[in-house]
């Protein structure tokens, strides 16, 4: 089966992990801070805090921004459930903003309308989480302006988007946000097995995240309530978790980071081949925002209504051909857990309409042209009238 996405792991990556196993530290050694510094330098953020997943990173991001019961968090319905679950973990209310039908990202105009209504009702969100779907940045200038006007904080869910940029600023530089979050799950752009990273330019947010990823404990005398005593002393000053990244994960991530630019360039070359080969088929091809350089995590097409077969049949035919197509995403608000919170089908019609026609074609840095040609011929075969 040709997967929709997969990691590219080299012998150098493997050696980097093996070296850790022969070293003194399997966790909390030198590689985690080295990985943090390397990612921060790469994207131009002041601080990076490594954790064991992007889900943990989103949770800590919400906590350090003070999200709690009585607050609200808004995100895009066209995302993985982690983008909104982070709000629920904090006891906050969660709501969604419908997508722009061209980018499939949160629509800034829909966001403004919803903010104006919420302001009249006195129910403005504390945090908005734009998701850079498929690796293409959301309109961060527009969202940053709304944040200043309406007084909310911004967490970028950049799980798809390391290696991308918005108007020349690398995603993760937090030029228009408080925090950005990366995922290093194996299907994402670079991997550490499991892993995530919090990026911010705010030192206080970073130090709180560092405490919360390790039980809410500090050894910094300046942070202690009762400093002094023996050198063994640590203090628990918050209720944290064990969200730490291991040295093996950090070593893999560091080694992968060296290939990031090459991986994204390879994804662009493959996407350009899809663009060319599929342009006469009844498909809506991915639109590239001129201000955005996408990391191209996903290559999603929508089946036109006049196509000879629908999404279900196309999906099944491609799977039968050994092509591991997928669908991103089932709108979060239609999940049973969210229905139980009161959301209904019809609440976010553009995300729902997009979902009903979307299919993600295989795309990963090491995909061979032969594998891609197999996907292309299967699509032509299935969609020719």
Ligand X SMILES: *Cc1c(COP(=O)(O)O)cnc(C)c1O
Active-site positions read 188
Contact of 235 with 218, CB cutoff 8 Å:
yes
Q: Which of 330, 305, 346 lies closest to 81 in space, CA to CA?
A: 330
Return the structure tokens found at 2: 């040709």
Q: How far is the CB of 7 from ligand X (least distance, A)?
A: 13
- Write phi, then psi, for 275 (nearest 5 degrees): -55, -45
Instruction: Kindly state the smallest distance separating residue 271's Cβ from ligand X, in Å.
Output: 18
Q: Which is nearer to ligand X, 82 or 92 (CB)?
A: 82
Helical axes 247-257 vs 11-21, angle rounded to 10°: 150
Vertex 289 angle, CA 94 and 371, to 5°: 95
C-alpha closest to that of 41 among 300, 260, 363, 343: 260
How would you list the strands of the sheet with 358-361, edge to edge?
283-284, 299-303, 358-361
Instruction: Select 83 or 372, whichever has its Cβ closest to ligand X.
Output: 83
For residue 228, the minimal CB distance to ligand X (Å) is 39
Smallest gap, in angstroms, from Cβ of residue 131 to ligand X?
A: 5
d(CA 178, CA 164) in angstroms, rounded, equals 18
Between 156 and 235, name the residue whose CB sits nearer to ligand X.
156
At closest approach, how far in Å is the CB of 13 from ligand X?
18
Q: Least Å distance between CB 24 and ligand X?
A: 27
Q: What share of the chain is helix, strand, coil (3-state, %, to 5)?
A: 40, 15, 45
Compare residues 55 and 165 and give the one whose CB is closer to ligand X.
Answer: 55
Tell me whether strands 47-51 and 72-75 are parallel, antiparallel or unpaired: unpaired
The alpha carbons of the chain give a radius of gyration, in whole angstroms, of: 21
Rounded to 5 degrees, what are φ and ψ at 283?
Answer: -130, 145
Nearest distance, CB of residue 194 and ligand X, angstroms: 6
Q: Which of 306, 343, 301 is nearest to 326 (CA)?
A: 301
Closer residue to ligand X in complex, CB, 282/324:
324
State the residues that interact with ligand X by CB under 6 A: 53-55, 79-80, 82-83, 131, 157, 159-160, 183, 185, 196
Between residues 138 and 218, which has the closer beta carbon with respect to ligand X?
Answer: 138
Q: What angle do CA 198, 201, 206 make, to 5 degrees?
A: 50
**Hey, is 191 helix, strand or coil?**
coil
Query: Between 43 and 307, whose beta carbon lies closer to ligand X?
Result: 43
């Amino acid at each position: 089966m040709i997967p929709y996405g997969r990691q590219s792991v080299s012998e150098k990556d493997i050696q980097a992990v093996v070296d850790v196993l022969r070293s003194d530290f399997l966790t909390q050694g030198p590689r985690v801070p080295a990985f943090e510094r390397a990612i921060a330098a790469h994207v131009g953020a002041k601080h990076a805090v490594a954790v064991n997943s992007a889900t943990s990173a989103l949770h800590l991001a919400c906590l350090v921004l003070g999200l709690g019961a009585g607050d609200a968090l808004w995100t895009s319905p066209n995302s993985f459930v982690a983008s909104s679950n982070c709000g629920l973990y904090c006891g906050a209310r969660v709501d969604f903003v419908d997508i722009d039908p061209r980018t499939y990202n949160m629509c800034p105009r829909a966001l403004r309308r919803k903010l104006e209504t919420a302001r009249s009702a006195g129910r403005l969100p504390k945090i908005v989480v734009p998701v850079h779907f498929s690796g293409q940045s959301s309109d961060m200038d527009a969202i940053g302006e709304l944040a200043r006007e309406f007084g909310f904080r911004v967490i970028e869910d950049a799980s798809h988007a390391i290696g991308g940029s918005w108007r020349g600023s690398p995603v993760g530089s937090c030029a228009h946000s408080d925090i950005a979050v990366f995922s290093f799950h194996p299907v994402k752009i670079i991997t550490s097995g499991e892993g995530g990273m919090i990026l911010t330019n705010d030192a206080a947010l970073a130090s709180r995240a560092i405490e919360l990823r390790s039980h809410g404990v500090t050894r910094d005398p300046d942070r202690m309530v009762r400093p002094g005593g023996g050198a063994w002393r640590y203090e628990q000053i918050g209720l944290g978790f064990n969200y730490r990244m291991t040295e093996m994960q950090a070593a893999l991530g560091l080694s992968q980071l060296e290939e990031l630019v090459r991986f994204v360039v390879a994804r662009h070359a493959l996407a350009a081949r899809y663009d060319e080969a599929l342009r006469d088929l009844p498909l809506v091809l991915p639109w590239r925002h001129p201000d955005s350089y996408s990391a191209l995590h996903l290559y999603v097409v929508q089946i036109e209504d006049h196509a000879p077969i629908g999404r279900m049949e196309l999906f099944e035919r491609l799977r039968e051909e050994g092509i591991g197509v997928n669908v991103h995403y089932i709108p979060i608000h239609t999940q049973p857990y969210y229905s139980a919170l009161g959301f209904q089908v019809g609440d976010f019609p553009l995300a729902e309409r997009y979902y009903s026609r979307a299919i993600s074609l295989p795309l990963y840095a090491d995909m061979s042209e032969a594998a891609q040609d197999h996907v292309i011929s299967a699509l032509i075969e299935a969609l020719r009238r």
